[in-house]
Amino acid sequence: MFPINSSSLFHFISLGNIETNTIYHEFDFRNFRIIGLDSNYVKYLEDKNFEKYDHWLYGFCNNETDTEGIGYLFTNDNFKKCACIRKYYNSLEKKYYNTNDENFKWPTLSHGNYHPDGTYYQILIDRCNEDTLKLVFGENYNCKTEDEVNNYFTGVWGINFYIIDHYIDVLNYKEPNRKFLFRIGNTLSKEIYSTNHLNFNPSLITTHNGILFDNIIEELSYVYDRNDVFTNPVDSKNIYMIYCFWLKNRINSYERTYQRIQDIISDIGGISEIISFLASIINRIYNSYIILFDTEKLLFSIFESQEKNIKKKNNIDNNNEPNKLKEDNQPNFDSTKSTARVMQNLDIKKFNENVRNRNFKKRNTKIRFTNITTTNSS
């Protein structure tokens, strides 16, 4: 069930001048009357005795009571020039009630078109009526004459019908039903009138947002579907525009689920398993690399040790060979021991040479002495 007020299916009507591109022109209640019915308008048009039916009369809107809870959608004073529901007529009590009266009842749209208890709402814009005009605006107001009404239609006028529509945004946690104004425009004509069948689909948003235990929040709303327009000739009934509200029997259902503590814990367990699996793969790759690296290092160390052993063996063999002189006949001074050995050999050779020289001199002396003696004797 959707009440047709600011809490749900709010609407208002304005006049527009197509030539000047004005959409918020002040509604002229001295030319037109707006009446709402919760019964089929065809019955009303048969006798036009509106006292037989519960109905609602329209007057100028106000921001104090008409836009409670949705005032942020109206940013200027043009809203006060538009038409809103001002009075309710109870056909059983034969009495009118203002919107601030406790006996006032808002029209509703409920249950769907095919439900036996379904309700709907229809709005008629027709010729001004003195009785209803004075009820809404006071005794000083009078309807315009026929000629004045005819002159009014010499201009290009239109009627703008505004409703509150909803944009469903399930990702918006705080406000999944985003409200906005939707405008339906029709040209006002003296020859034909338009019948607008406004179709609405109910919508249901179910939210599971419990922290530990499941907490279910259901938000029922509606979404404007389409407008089926039919035209009829204006006759002696002086009907200029009709709007019919229909609630269809197909619901748009949305469901949102937010994680609870146990869901987060299970997700953490799943994530830890993924991390462990990835870590094992990385560890396996790293270990394979370390094995290859250590194997390469071991092989190179073996080759280096073999080379050192070969060099050491060559050095030992070289040290065991007899001392050789270098190309310039100089002794080999590669090491301290070899140097000392060479020096010792040189000293021994020098000593032997000196001994041989002394012996040689002695022998020569004897020979000379012998020669001399031999000479003297001869």
**pLDDT tens-digit readout, 344-369:** 555 555 655 665 655 545 444 444 44
Of residues 91 and 311, the one with the higher pLDDT is 91
Could you give the CA distance from residue 193 to residue 231 in angstroms, rounded to a whole number? 6
Domain ranges of the chain: 2-258, 261-321, 323-378
pTM: 0.69
Average pLDDT in the 35-60 region? 89
Residue 352, pLDDT score: 58
Residue 205, pLDDT score: 94
């006949």: which residue's tokens? 329
Q: 79 to each of 21, 26, 73, 157, 258, how far by Cα in Å?
A: 17, 9, 10, 18, 40
Residue 318, pLDDT score: 62
CA geometry: angle at 285 spanning 284 and 288, to 5°? 85
C-alpha dihedral sign at 142, 83, 37, 97:
negative
Residue 59, pLDDT score: 94
Residue 234 in this model has a pLDDT that exceeds 90: no
H/E run at residue 348: helix 336-377
Report the percent of the chain where pLDDT is more than 70.
83
Could you give the CA distance from residue 26 to residue 160 in angstroms, rounded to a whole number? 12
Residue 206's contacts (CB-CB under 8 Å, 6 or more residues apart) are 216, 217, 218, 253, 254, 255, 256
Q: pLDDT class for 114, splitting at 50, 70, 90? A: confident
Please, what is the average pLDDT of the chain?
Answer: 81
Of residues 324 and 27, the one with the higher pLDDT is 27
Q: 246 to each of 36, 111, 186, 226, 273, how far by Cα in Å?
A: 14, 10, 19, 10, 55
Residue 322's contacts (CB-CB under 8 Å, 6 or more residues apart) are none
Residue 304 in this model has a pLDDT that exceeds 90: no
C-alpha dihedral sign at 27, 29, 31, 32:
positive
How many Å separate Cα 276 from the centre of its chain?
Answer: 31
CB 219, CB 205: distance < 8 Å: yes
